[in-house]
Structure 1
Amino acid sequence: MEGTVEERILAGLDDEQRAVASQLTGPLCVLAGAGTGKTRAITHRIAYGVHTGVYKPQQVLAVTFTARAAAEMRTRLRDLGAHGVQARTFHAAALRQLQYFWPQAVGGTLPALVDHKAQLLAEAARRLRLSTDRATIRDLAAEVEWAKVSMLTPDTYVEAARGRVEPAGMDATTVARLFSAYEDLKVDRNVIDFEDVLLITVGILQEDAKVAATVRSQYRHFVVDEYQDVSPLQQRLLDLWLGEREELCVVGDASQTIYSFTGATSAHLLKFTGRYPNAQVIKLVRDYRSTPQVVHLANSLLAARTDEAERRGGTGSWATPLQLIAQRQPGPAPSFTECSDDEAEAADVARRIGTLIAEGVPASEIAILYRTNGQSEAYEQALAAAGIGYQLRGAERFFARREVRESLLQLRAAARAATNEDVPQLVRDVLASLGYTREAPQSSGAVREKWESLAALVSLADELHQARSGQGFTLQDFVAELEERASAQHAPTVQGVTLASLHSAKGLEWDAVFLVGLSEGLMPISFADTPDAVDEERRLLYVGITRARKHLALSWSTSRTPGGRASRKPSRFLDGLRPESSGPRSFRQPTVRKERKVSAPAHCRTCGKVLGTGAERKIGRCGDCPANYSEETFEALRNWRLQAARETEVPAFVVFTDATLVAIAEARPDSLEKLAQLAGVGPAKLDRYGESVLNVLAQGH
């Protein structure tokens, strides 16, 4: 390319990005929407400053919030010839300084850094005679982290925690006592945690003028990415790094503030010009990531909230969102799909993903995003059944989760002594000892995630009991089913479809995104019971939408379990966004899997009576009516299923359940169209196994 290095660095940037890159001094606030190339703009700014001699590389500190983002920034800077620039997370930068200055500022050896709070918090709880489990400790750890990044002490915590959801059901006074005991225990053990790294660094910079002067002479220019996510503690550290100087560039988007529960606040971004009246403000609104169809939906989601706020006479805490302008070529319209139940929704998503992969979209460029990690199990099973590899991000695989493994152990023990064959109730009784309750906990975090895992097992017990009640279904059978399913969850962990919570998807993007479970109670989540909390849920959905480059699918179900009462409603956030929807709740798309729809009564194929239970509808006849299939036919189908399972290396139930084989044996369909009408034979299974099933039946068994 012709021109100087400096010209080449600015080449290829749009007008707004170029304005960012060439504004090298003074306070600068970059309001950057999703997909607008903010990392490109700020790395080119740093590189331009280095190559023009305005910056010395060693005097620039760029901070962000994840090690992955920091590594990406360092790579880009190296590619631009800006060697020597420090790009780190807040914690990594503070720890480096703390390790260097501890001997002279404090003396001795820096205490060891504990990676996790769990063990120390558990011991502190035992000292206070508090009963806790792993999920409780995780939620308490999150609360202690929130308190510390908010610069609270055990003495000031109680007042500040007024109005917050009680972590693990513990009142603020008890949490403060545990907080204090935890801090005392760290002193006894001579260890510090990650928040201490920031707190101690702040303390040293405040108390030791010589250290503060050394740091400020080392770093002269600062860049902070994802500035909407800074906590009060991180802002305090940044202030101390800066001193009285104003050589600061911040980049953020208030519409992507989704970590308030960790102490993050967009207030610093929104009040930046108030603090720095001479600050330049540049908006990046050209979206290079997503198609116009995706961008329009994202803009509409935020505009609906803005209009609502204005009707109420003010925006309150709602910041005026950036209006993104799509730069890509048009693509397909986002799809909106209502399903009869969670299983049907997962099956439909898996079918659509199979179609995308067949059309050439790599599995690694497809993501399923949900609100809570407890929702992943249905999609793990649906993808496994369809033979599609997947990887979980930000969560353990369902059957690897501790509460699931503990549940399997408890259920296995109970199965050896069980005499009562009311399997669903037995499962509930066993899991109650591990924390399962009929009603979901109101808190978020680990306790809620644990409950979701246990609730998924209860739901599975209900479903299998309905499907197999006529076959003497026992607790031993349920345990065997769980063990089979656990062994089937060994899908590749790389190069597969990504399963992730909306929170863990921040900063990522895919060609195709499926936003699932978009019903009231999940989006917004049920415990979002204040206007600010609901606003954060809306921003979370916005983040999910803007992860998609081309294909975007939004779905929800009207019932949790097959055959259940259709009491769920689509998320209020979708009102006015769905096709043909001009007002709340006016749109209903046909149920995806017609075999699940229960609006029309199903009749027994033997006696003609209306079928009353899910199990009866599954096999197509009353429980009192005798089976009317040939044992030879059923055994032939079972032998075929076993062979098919071995060939594809999956458990037999993944091919077809026994209940589905019974339905096939009784109906003896002679065409794919008739086979597709049977419960349990979805589009993916019809494509994969349909002809083989018809061949078995055609052999006259």
Structure 2
Amino acid sequence: MSISAGPQSADDILDALDPEQREVAANPSGPMVVLAGAGTGKTRAITHRIAYGVASGAYQPQRVLAVTFTARAAGEMRTRLRDLGVAGVQARTFHSAALRQLHYFWPSAIGGAAPEIMSYKGPAVAEAASRMGMRLDRSELRDVSAEVEWSKVSLLTPETYPAAARRARREPPGMDHTAMARLISTYEDVKGERGVIDFEDVLLLTVGILEERDDIARTVRDQYRHFVVDEYQDVNALQQRLLDLWLGGRGDICVVGDPAQTIYSFTGATPEHLLRFTQHHPGAQQVRLVRNYRSTPPVLTLANRMLTDGTGQRRGGSVELVPQREGGIPPSLTALDDDPAEASWVAGKIKELAAQGRPLSEIAVLFRTNGQSEALESALADADVPYLVKGGERFFSRKEVREAVLLLRGAARQDDGSKELPALVGDVLGGLGWHEDPPASTGAVRSRWESLKALVDLSARLVAATPEARLPDLVRDLDERIASQHAPDVEGVTLASLHAAKGLEWDVVFLAGCSDGLLPIMMAEGVDEIEEERRLMYVGVTRAREVLHLSWARARTPGARASRRVSRFLDQTAGILGEGARSTPKRSSSPKAGGRLKPSRPKVCKVCGNDLSTATERASGRCPDCPPTYDEATFERLRSWRLAVSRAASVPAFVVFTDATLEAIAEAEPAHQRDLSAISGVGPRKLSLYADQVLAVVGGADPDEVAEAAAGEPED
């Protein structure tokens, strides 16, 4: 909207900042990397940097490009710059900025109009699969589409995809890497025949034009002289390539990020660009924002502990947050019998908070997987607590909101200023049945009322910030919000996955499902994936301003055996949450001298989480009907080797190793004897007989040659 607070002086801009934020803002020229912990005011720092650059004459606002990752974040940045009296700065997502350039330069670079962009690549992927004789169900189609996106943002071709995917341990659903490469190639053919492009192509085509047309690259670089990139830990290889082309070797760039909040590596994002920024920009200034203004000291103490290892060292380049608030309630950890009991407990606590006057819009329930939402929604509905699912139907897509915006646009032309803005908005929305008193009923009726109330509340906040604002100003603000999907707050508890909660905050946060198998999720394999799960839980914890409740359930369903354990990520917090936070209780005595501790066999399936009832199931760690989690090629090599060994020794194959033990070996992929010795079914005798052979086969050696060499037979 057009109303602004008016330009501020350079001194006023800096006076509003703490010492570290001031360092970011007061040095607007040259390369800078800002490591900004959660809640440390990074958006404040970089918007004030831009405002100071403009006020001091270092920047021309039209030559500044501020880039972030979501339309909502870009809208928030534009709002803050407007409040600082800065107009003309472009604040956009990578895709929005690239699309604008693509449409502008396409006629001269390629000719004609730019191709249409597919809103969803699923149909084209499905057609590509059909041409290859494959049929994909809905979940497979989603996963294959995600794999196509990963290959493109990683700057891979169908020829380079297989090797890169194997290195990254990518597992495309229902096919090997070679087949996935063929599908990627076929998908590109389908797009070409349809004359359309996808969202990744927007960046790729912009990169191609800038690389091939020096004149266009010079035009873009002349337009944008100064860059600010938010959430830089989430940059992928394609976005970095585009950013490098925009810069053209110049150094007027400030990047801001937090390696502890890297939670999108499955999409190709990597914090390496952030952590190695000073290597690519020698002499770059580095600032660490550590003063946390969001959360109370007890919440931050827990968050800091989660990112330390057993020696107290920080993990992955993260910053230690320093609280700026005082007081606070210690976080709690509650164990419940099963998932429905946990959901009911959460709903009951929220009901208590609401009765105490806590606004529902300041309460969130966070969880790892979308599948956890159903039980929580049911419990909240039973408790008559209104809620909103983050990632559900968008606010501005709701029927009542679309109708309300149309009415407000029509009424804006007749606003004569005789009524205060909130009262006028209420009168206009009365045509849709709006009234101040909430309805007694719940469900759709209550949800509709909450949507309209959010628009009335938005008008009140607008007047509080700008007393002279009128209905046309509100409509312009709504238009900006619609364009950026920056929805106003709606009264109701927020339900959100941890990924969807990134960038948001609430007074009270319930983090449900804090058990191994959910946090970390059971599919996470290897150190890197487990550490990303830890960061995901850290993001959830740092969403809380004042109150943090952690909970977990010992079993999935009522009456089932209590086979779950609390999340291993809470081990370092036992001094805060109590001994119940330890995933592995302290041992009361040391093992006998000379004894060897071997890990206990799993009691629940690593795939579906159900109880394992037989020794064979516990040895393999999964139900017989669940898909394997090991590398099948490695398993088949081990089977071939075992067959050769058993024939040479004239013994049954299971005497060498059982199938369950081979599956466990194929899954663990041991590189040393000590790793092999920790696997169930590999005792001291078999270790001495077969260790070198097994390790060779796991490493990729030919199984028959390994068996022949061990038997002392000459090679053919």
What's the TM-score, normalizing by structure 1?
A: 0.68
Counterparts in 2 of 1:291-690, with a 5 A limit?
291-304=296-309, 307=311, 318-395=315-392, 492=447, 494-578=490-574, 579-581=577-579, 584-586=583-585
In the alignment, structure 1 residue 120 sits paired with structure 2 residue 124: yes
Instruction: Specify the code of the residue in structure 2 equivalent to 1:394.
Output: G
In the alignment, structure 1 residue 175 sits paired with structure 2 residue 152: no
2:201 equivalent among 188, 196, 200 = 196
Q: Distance in 1 between matches of 2:161 and 2:302?
A: 41
Counterparts in 2 of 1:131-142, with a 5 A limit?
131-142=135-146
Distance 1:564 1:584, change over 3 A: closer
Instruction: Specify the code of the residue in structure 1 equivalent to 2:523.
Output: F
Deviation at 1:585, TM superposition (A): 3.4
CA contact (8 A) 1:390 1:491 kept: no
Q: Distance in 2 between matches of 1:389 and 1:514?
A: 16
In the alignment, structure 1 residue 73 sits paired with structure 2 residue 77: yes
Q: Which residue number in structure 1 is paired with residue 414 of structure 2?
A: none
Aligned residue for 1:34, secondary structure, equals coil
Q: Distance in 1 between matches of 2:294 and 2:504?
A: 11
Q: Distance in 1 between matches of 2:543 and 2:499?
A: 12
Q: Distance in 2 between matches of 1:4 and 1:87?
A: 19
Distance 1:584 1:128, change over 3 A: closer
Q: Distance in 2 between matches of 1:261 and 1:352?
A: 34
Distance 1:73 1:396, change over 3 A: closer
Deviations 1:589-630 (A, max 9, x none): xxxxxxxxxxxxxxxxxxxxxxxxxxxxxxxxxxxxxxxxxx
The unaligned stretches of length 5 or more in structure 1 are 398-486, 588-701
Deviations 1:645-673 (A, max 9, x none): xxxxxxxxxxxxxxxxxxxxxxxxxxxxx
Q: Distance in 2 between matches of 1:361 and 1:507?
A: 22
Instruction: Specify the code of the residue in structure 2 equivalent to 1:168.
Output: P
Q: Which residue number in structure 1 is paired with residue 98 of structure 2?
A: 94
Deviations 1:355-393 (A, max 9, x none): 111112111111111000011000000000000011111
Q: Distance in 1 between matches of 2:493 and 2:508?
A: 10
Structure 1 window deviating more from structure 2 (507-516 vs 9-18): it is 9-18
Aligned residue for 2:364, secondary structure, equals strand
Instruction: Specify the code of the residue in structure 1 equivalent to 2:50.
Output: I
Deviation at 1:126, TM superposition (A): 1.3
Deviations 1:152-183 (A, max 9, x none): 11111111110524232321112111111110
2:115 equivalent among 82, 98, 111 = 111
CA contact (8 A) 2:36 2:289 kept: yes
Q: Distance in 2 between matches of 1:210 and 1:386?
A: 64
Distance 1:491 1:165, change over 3 A: farther
In the alignment, structure 1 residue 42 sits paired with structure 2 residue 46: yes
Distance 1:4 1:226, change over 3 A: closer
Q: Which residue number in structure 1 is paired with residue 468 of structure 2?
A: none
CA contact (8 A) 2:570 2:582 kept: no
Q: Distance in 2 between matches of 1:113 and 1:198?
A: 12
CA contact (8 A) 2:565 2:583 kept: no
Aligned residue for 1:168, secondary structure, equals coil
Q: Distance in 2 between matches of 1:392 and 1:37?
A: 26
CA contact (8 A) 2:116 2:195 kept: yes
Q: Distance in 1 between matches of 2:349 and 2:250?
A: 54
Q: Which residue number in structure 1 is paired with residue 404 of structure 2?
A: none
Q: Which residue number in structure 1 is paired with residue 261 of structure 2?
A: 256
Q: Distance in 1 between matches of 2:140 and 2:446?
A: 30
Deviation at 1:532, TM superposition (A): 0.4
Distance 1:489 1:525, change over 3 A: farther
Deviation at 1:396, TM superposition (A): 7.0
CA contact (8 A) 2:8 2:85 kept: no
Deviation at 1:286, TM superposition (A): 0.4
Deviations 1:392-412 (A, max 9, x none): 112579xxxxxxxxxxxxxxx
Aligned residue for 1:558, secondary structure, equals strand
The unaligned stretches of length 5 or more in structure 2 are 395-441, 452-489, 587-716
CA contact (8 A) 2:505 2:544 kept: yes
Aligned residue for 1:504, secondary structure, equals helix
Instruction: Specify the code of the residue in structure 2 equivalent to 1:360.
Output: G
Deviations 1:196-221 (A, max 9, x none): 00000001101100000000000000
Deviation at 1:119, TM superposition (A): 1.1
CA contact (8 A) 1:576 1:584 kept: no
Q: Distance in 2 between matches of 1:345 and 1:4?
A: 51
Q: Distance in 1 between matches of 2:132 and 2:393?
A: 31
Distance 1:227 1:342, change over 3 A: same
Q: Distance in 2 between matches of 1:182 and 1:10?
A: 52
Instruction: Specify the code of the residue in structure 2 equivalent to 1:380.
Output: E
Aligned residue for 1:88, secondary structure, equals strand
Distance 1:583 1:121, change over 3 A: closer
Q: Distance in 1 between matches of 2:193 and 2:68?
A: 33
What's the TM-score, normalizing by structure 2?
A: 0.66
Q: Distance in 2 between matches of 1:137 and 1:61?
A: 36
Q: Distance in 1 between matches of 2:8 and 2:367?
A: 48
Deviation at 1:490, TM superposition (A): 7.9
Aligned residue for 2:304, secondary structure, equals helix
Deviation at 1:584, TM superposition (A): 4.3
Deviations 1:329-377 (A, max 9, x none): 2111101000000010000000011111111211111111100001100
Deviation at 1:49, TM superposition (A): 0.5
Deviations 1:230-253 (A, max 9, x none): 000000000000012100100001
1:205 equivalent among 210, 221, 226 = 210
Q: Distance in 2 between matches of 1:538 and 1:368?
A: 18
Deviations 1:548-576 (A, max 9, x none): 00010001000000111000001111113
RMSD, aligned CA: 1.9
Q: Distance in 2 between matches of 1:221 and 1:583?
A: 49
Q: Which residue number in structure 2 is paired with residue 282 of structure 1?
A: 287
Deviations 1:8-45 (A, max 9, x none): 11122101111111011110011100000000000001
CA contact (8 A) 2:28 2:49 kept: yes
Q: Which residue number in structure 2 is paired with residue 677 of structure 1?
A: none
Q: Which residue number in structure 1 is paired with residue 247 of structure 2?
A: 242
Deviation at 1:489, TM superposition (A): 8.3
Q: Which residue number in structure 2 is paired with residue 623 of structure 1?
A: none
Instruction: Specify the code of the residue in structure 2 equivalent to 1:288.
Output: Y
Aligned residue for 2:113, secondary structure, equals coil
Q: Distance in 1 between matches of 2:582 and 2:137?
A: 45
Q: Which residue number in structure 2 is paired with residue 82 of structure 1?
A: 86
1:147 equivalent among 138, 145, 151 = 151
Q: Which residue number in structure 2 is paired with residue 53 of structure 1?
A: 57
Q: Distance in 2 between matches of 1:47 and 1:265?
A: 29
Q: Which residue number in structure 2 is paired with residue 228 of structure 1?
A: 233
Deviations 1:446-474 (A, max 9, x none): xxxxxxxxxxxxxxxxxxxxxxxxxxxxx
Deviation at 1:265, TM superposition (A): 0.2
